[in-house]
Amino acid sequence: MRPAVAIITALAPRPGHRLVETHSALDASRIDYEWLIQVDDDAAGELPVVLATDPRVRIEANGQRAGIAATRNRALARAEAPLVLNADSDDVPVPGAIDRLAIAFEDPSVGLAFGDWIEHWPDRGPWIPKPRFAPGRLAPGTLGRIWYEERWVPFHLAGAMWRTDAVLVAGGWSAVLGGSDIGLLLGVDSVWAGAYVPGAAFIYHHHASQATASDAWRVQFERDMHFLRRRYEALRHRTA
């Protein structure tokens, strides 16, 4: 029997991963899952023992450095489940969160579901953003329009759950260096409804080794925003 949810983790060869904590959180779930770890390097390396002995965890290497978007897409190609959850290697899902998010997909019009999140800063401790949405369904185009008009995504894309078919129709994670998950969001949101599920879904850990913490990444991110805004405009024109 195929699993209900595929957990996708793009693993870069750098410090700061929380794979053991993530495994513990996933193990507290009732829903069946597969965990596809894709290493952005020429070799997979060794997993912690608790993961290496779990048949639900499957690790594979790209064979070369390919970047986060291609790495996630290679993991997606191995997914057998009808739902996909992105779980970054330095973040940790909240126990039971994947069970709650999966319920939203009982509505066949829903292509992505998200909850709240907790941000952990090394020098400031935890911070919980205030929810923006009422619980439940968000009409197609809602999230993309907010991003386009306000220049920010109104939820944290790390830890969102997606309908696998919706991700495939959208072409997977976009081939940009900054904002590949925004590109995916725009494609899915243009056709599918979203769903806000109240309650914390994952813990987002800030640390010095994050690629997104560098000045070079921020410069590239701003360059890629021009492409993504043009993509939103083309999608809006096509679906109007």
Q: How many domains does the chain have?
A: 1
Dihedral sign, Cα of residue 157, residue 162, residue 166, residue 168: positive
Task: State the average pLDDT over residues 97-117.
Answer: 97
pLDDT in tens, 141-184: 999 999 999 999 999 898 899 999 999 999 999 988 888 999 99
Q: Tell me: the pLDDT tens digits for 9-51?
A: 998 876 668 899 999 999 999 999 999 999 999 888 888 899 9
Strand-pair partners of 146: none
Q: Could you tell me the pLDDT band of residue 206, with boundaries at 50, 70 and 90?
A: low
Token pair for residue 236?
């809006």
Confidence of residue 60 (pLDDT cuts 50, 70, 90): very high
Other Cβ atoms less than 10 A from the Cβ of 223: the count is 12
Average pLDDT over residues 81-98: 93
The pTM of this model reads 0.91
Q: What does the pLDDT read at residue 150?
A: 94
* 58 touches 36 (CB < 8 A): yes
For residue 64, what are its two tokens?
């070369």
CA–CA distances in Å: residue 218 to residues 51, 66, 174, 178, 179: 33, 19, 17, 8, 10
pLDDT at 191: 95
Question: What residue numbers bound the domain in which 127 lies?
Answer: 5-239
pLDDT bracket for residue 90 (50, 70, 90)? confident
Reference 9, options 62, 75, 55, 63; nearest CA is 75
Q: Which of 29-33, 68-72, 218-222 has the lowest mean pLDDT?
A: 218-222
CATH code, 153: 3.90.550.10
Kindly indicate the confidence band of residue 204, based on its pLDDT and cuts at 50, 70 and 90.
confident
CB hemisphere CA count around 5 (13 angstroms): 29
- Residue 159, SS3? coil
CB within 8 A of 234, min separation 6: which ones?
A: none
